[in-house]
Amino acid sequence: MTEHISEQRMYELVDGAALSAGPGGELEHLDACPECRTRLEDLSDVVAGLRGLPTEATTPDGLWAGIASRRDDIAGRPGAVVQP
Ligand SMILES: [Zn+2]
């Protein structure tokens, strides 16, 4: 059996790099090595999960208005220092 597929190469494969074929290639190795197959599947699942996350965060309606209102209340108190 050939050497296990490196972690760096696993990332490349998950990013769409082609498996090397032929004798001693990655495809042959994955067919014969359950450890690398499992690692590649696990990494693919993690990356797919990360890609499914939203790229922007949203806040509940009214949250920022409430924060600004509280800040203004605090700024109005004697001795209060509010950074711009
Ligand atoms: Zn392996």
**80 vs 57: CA distance, rounded Å:** 31
17-74 pLDDT tens trace: 999 998 889 999 999 999 999 999 999 999 999 999 988 888 888 888 888 888 888 8
In the chain the first and final C-alpha atoms are separated, in Å, by 64
| Confidence tier at 81 by pLDDT (50, 70, 90) | low
Which residue is listed with tokens 């190469």? Answer: 9
Ligand 1 centroid to 46 CA: how many Å?
19
pTM for the model: 0.62
Count Cα atoms within 13 angstroms, Cβ side, for 1: 11
Ligand 1 centroid to 5 CA: how many Å?
6
| Confidence tier at 1 by pLDDT (50, 70, 90) | very low
**42 vs 46: CA distance, rounded Å:** 6
